[in-house]
Amino acid sequence: MIANHFINWKTLLNIPDDRVKEVSLLAVIIFSYFCFQFVFRIINTILIADQKPSRASFVDLSGQVISLIIIFAMTRLTKGSLLNLGLAIGIAPTLVLLLANVILFKTQYKDYAPSIKLAKKEYAKDIMNLGLKFFVLQIASIVQFQTTSFLIAHYFSTAQVTSYNIAYKYFFTLQMIFMILLTPLWSGTTDAYNSGDTEWIKMVVKKYLIFLGPFILLGAIMLVFAKPVYDLWLGKNNVDIKFNISLLCYIFFSTAMFASIFVAVINGIGALKIQFITSILTSIGFLAISILLIKQFHFGVESILIASIISNVYGYIISPIQYYHIFIKKSKSKIWYA
């Protein structure tokens, strides 16, 4: 929030002068909710660890549905406002998460409710070591995949952000459905690996790879009918979305779904060292490739998606190799397990 006073939002987002103050305040609102959710989402982590991913998803769904209702009501009762939109998007999910914490920590998870009295220093090193790695991985993911809108707005225009986001969200629905099916894999892998049941892990990975086939095919069908869907969704010729953007979004999410299978397994066993190092390098690489393609090769918005696909190299190349060395080859080298 201190840094926010020194950020030049006009230059960063390529916005008009009369929007700078509003965007600055919006940034404070969104960042505040992000920080609150960062704390309150602990309940979702516990639900997933307890093999109840559907309940964790229901908590998220409830917050999103309430946000949608609030936004719909505002379109009918108020004038358009970025600040109101920011509040609507942030306040409902945060309050739902807070309510879930209060209810579940007072009932079925009463024995696990956070308490200063239960803090034990001897566990701090192991917990913080693993937790810090996951934290860095999350930050790297934000840098790599959530700064795209900033880059597009800065180097092109805010109108191009809209086109990109429409295509991105269209194909994201494919990954969203796949991730719902994939959610139990992480916690299931942890349980099976600690029980020594590696055969179950290999069997499940094969099943998910088979499940992936229809999703790739469905994505190809979505690509073919993308233009009619955009017109039906947004109104004919209201937003211009180039075929190249849709094609690259399809490739990005196809590789991301493939990668998510192996990344879930690697995360489940806590073998994060390779991913940790790679994530730092690819985050820097993503920014460098994006700027290089934009400034030197003049590729346009496609530059961001190409950089995103290349930067996800750990997911679709390195993590399958790591999985192979751990579960198939059963390598003796410690680097794969670190």
For 115-129, write each residue's pLDDT tens digit. Answer: 888 888 888 888 888
Confidence of residue 322 (pLDDT cuts 50, 70, 90): very high
- Could you tell me the pTM of the whole model? 0.82
For 227-270, write each residue's pLDDT tens digit. Answer: 999 999 888 878 889 999 999 999 999 999 999 999 999 999 99
Residue listed under structure tokens 């093999």: 51
Region 137-162 average pLDDT: 83
Integer Cα distance of 266 and 326 in angstroms: 9
Average pLDDT score, the chain: 91
The three-class DSSP label of residue 15 is: coil
Q: What are the helix (H) ranges across 156-272?
A: 158-194, 198-224, 226-234, 243-269
Integer Cα distance of 164 and 174 in angstroms: 16
Confidence of residue 131 (pLDDT cuts 50, 70, 90): confident
What the block records as the tokens of 26 is 């919006």
For 207-221, write each residue's pLDDT tens digit. Answer: 999 999 999 999 999
* Residue 304, CA atoms < 13 Å, CB-side half-sphere: 25
Q: Which amino acid is at 36?
A: F
Integer Cα distance of 58 and 263 in angstroms: 24
For 44-88, write each residue's pLDDT tens digit. Answer: 989 988 888 889 989 999 999 999 999 999 989 888 888 889 898
- DSSP assignment, residue 157? -
